[in-house]
């Protein structure tokens, strides 16, 4: 059975391709290499023994996308990762973000609607909750006004899918709201490859430890948390990838309760920035150079998932610890720079 993975050479996409192949799916990847490299195909095939079919295509090209679905009429499911994801850039270039993340989404849904069947998995984010009023965050927590055009594309993206599913019963979709995916495949053959200066904590830590960055700035230590630094729910990317396969199987087997569902993907445990640093130092045996810096604009104080719905309804649970995730991130960083 063929499954389309858009953005399948990116960080979460590539790990999902691996898990799909482990489960026997035939994978077709669409990626425009805007934030990834064709070398990732080698990493995937080194792990699974099989290279996915690859189409270098920009999803904004509606004609080509239509041609793609004509070429592969036997696609039974779509996992849609392809999107722009830099929060700061989205503030500078809102139209680019709305076109890439929302225009493209409407094109994909139009194709699936035309096909008359569609099993669609969407990359959403816990940013839709903003600063939630209580922890842990359940899927019933209200969606708060987005802090950036990027965040808004996740909220509006979910609404576009929900509204489309509402009137097209042949379309089935699941939105997965990720908390903070980190780490790399334990083989160190695929992992995160941020372009330029990393915006996210864990790649910044590993790049500092390997000597590419001088020092990590910890953004604020005066938050109302036990050690004063922000709290997030860091989840191993392989756990996130496995959740996509389970969600897809749920749709393919018709086990979904409604034709649009939403699940949190987190571990359920919150960790502070200082705890993440400690974990890194423990698993790497290296002292990290860091200092306390002013707060970063737009950061919420804390966000961690209530995972009950994913655990019970989806039948998925995060398996890896923070230490395991940090260890894999560090092994990947060393491999990439060697
Ligand atoms: N953070 C930090 N220094 C950095 C990058 C991130 O202290 O160089 C903190 C950030 O303030 C937040 C946490 O690490 O509390 C996670 O940030 P990240 O950007 O990785 O994910 P976010 O939760 O913001 O999506």
When divided into structural domains, the chain yields a total of 1
Whether the Cβ atoms of residue 277 and residue 290 lie closer than 8 Å to each other: yes
* Predicted local confidence at residue 100, as pLDDT: 97
Q: With CA atoms as reference, report the closest residue to 242 among 219, 221, 263, 259.
A: 263
What is the Cα–Cα distance from 15 to 9, expressed in whole angstroms? Answer: 9
Q: CATH number for the domain including 85? A: 3.40.50.720
Confidence at 336, pLDDT banded by 50, 70, 90: very high
- As separate numbers, helices (DSSP H) first and strands (DSSP E) second, the chain gives 12, 14
Q: Is the pLDDT of residue 11 over 90?
A: yes
Give me the domain span that covers residue 78.
2-182+235-266+313-318
- Residue 262 covered by a domain: yes
150 assigned to active site? yes
The half-sphere exposure of 53 on its side-chain side, counting CA atoms within 13 A, is 15
| 64 Cα–ligand 1 center, Å | 37
pLDDT tens column, 172-216: 999 999 999 999 999 999 999 998 999 999 999 999 999 999 999
Query: What pLDDT score was predicted for residue 179?
Result: 98
Ligand 1: residues with CB < 6 A are 180, 199-201, 204, 216-219, 230, 232, 273, 296, 299
SS3 107: helix
Burial class (CB in 10 A: 0-12, 13-18, 19+), 121: buried
Where residue 338 falls among pLDDT bands split at 50, 70, 90?
confident
What per-residue confidence (pLDDT) applies to 195? 87
Tell me: the pLDDT tens digits for 68-83?
999 999 999 999 999 9
How far is residue 183 from each of residues 104, 180, 207, 239, 296, measured CA to CA in Å? 28, 10, 13, 10, 23
Q: Is residue 55 part of a domain?
A: yes
| Atom 11 (ligand 1) nearest CA | 219
Q: Give residue 40 CA to ligand 1 midpoint distance, Å.
A: 26
DSSP letters spanning 31-75: E--SS--THHHHHHHHHHS-PPEEEE--TT-HHHHHHHHHH-TTE
Question: In the chain, what percentage of residues exceed pLDDT 70?
Answer: 100
- Could you report the per-residue pLDDT of 248-283, keeping only the tens digit for each? 999 999 999 999 999 999 999 999 999 999 999 999
φ and ψ of 282, to 5 deg: -65, -50
Closest residue CA from atom 14 of ligand 1: 201
For residues 180 and 270, give the distance between their C-alpha atoms in angstroms, rounded to a whole number. 10
In a domain, 51, yes or no: yes
Question: What's the gap in Å between 72 CA and the centre of ligand 1?
Answer: 40
- Does 118 fall in a domain? yes
Half-sphere exposure of 256 (CA within 13 A, CB side): 25
Minimum-distance ligand 1 atom for the alpha carbon of 276: 14
Kindly give the interhelix angle for 322-337 and 273-284, rounded to the nearest 10 degrees: 60
Establish if 193 belongs to a structural domain.
no
* Residues 313-327: tens digit of each pLDDT: 999 999 999 999 999
- Whether the pTM exceeds 0.85: the reply is yes
Distance (angstroms) between ligand 1 centre and the Cα of 201 equals 5
Question: pLDDT category, 34, cuts 50, 70, 90?
Answer: very high
């Amino acid at each position: 059975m063929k499954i389309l993975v858009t953005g399948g050479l990116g960080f979460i996409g590539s790990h999902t391709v691996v898990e799909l192949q482990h489960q026997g799916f035939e994978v077709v990847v669409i990626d425009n290499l805007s934030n990834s490299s064709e070398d990732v195909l080698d990493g995937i095939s080194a792990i699974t023994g099989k290279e996915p079919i690859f189409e270098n295509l920009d999803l904004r090209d509606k004609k080509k996308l239509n041609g793609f679905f004509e070429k592969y009429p036997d696609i039974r499911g779509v996992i849609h990762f392809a999107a722009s994801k830099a929060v700061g850039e989205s503030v500078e270039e809102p139209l680019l973000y709305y076109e890439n993340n929302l225009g493209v989404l409407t094109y994909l849904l139009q194709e699936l609607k035309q096909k008359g069947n569609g099993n669609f998995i969407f990359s959403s984010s816990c940013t839709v909750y903003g600063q939630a009023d209580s922890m842990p965050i359940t899927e019933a927590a209200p969606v708060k006004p987005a802090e950036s055009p990027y965040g808004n594309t996740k909220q509006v993206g979910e609404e576009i899918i929900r509204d489309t599913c509402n009137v097209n019963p042949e379309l089935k979709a699941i939105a997965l709201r990720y908390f903070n995916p980190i780490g790399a495949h334990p083989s160190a053959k695929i992992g995160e490859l941020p372009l330029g200066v990393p915006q996210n904590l864990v790649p910044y830590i590993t790049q500092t430890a390997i000597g590419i960055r001088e020092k990590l700035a910890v953004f604020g230590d005066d938050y109302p948390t036990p050690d004063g630094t922000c709290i997030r729910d860091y989840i191993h990317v392989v756990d996130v990838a496995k959740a996509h396969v389970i969600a897809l199987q749920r749709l393919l087997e018709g086990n979904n309760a409604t034709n649009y569902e939403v699940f949190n993907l987190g571990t359920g445990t919150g960790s502070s920035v200082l705890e993440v640093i400690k974990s890194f130092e423990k698993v790497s045996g290296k002292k990290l150079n860091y200092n306390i810096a002013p707060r970063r604009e737009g950061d919420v104080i804390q966000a961690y998932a209530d995972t009950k719905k994913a655990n019970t309804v989806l039948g998925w649970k995060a398996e890896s610890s923070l230490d395991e995730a940090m260890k894999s991130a560090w092994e990947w960083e060393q491999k990439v720079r060697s």
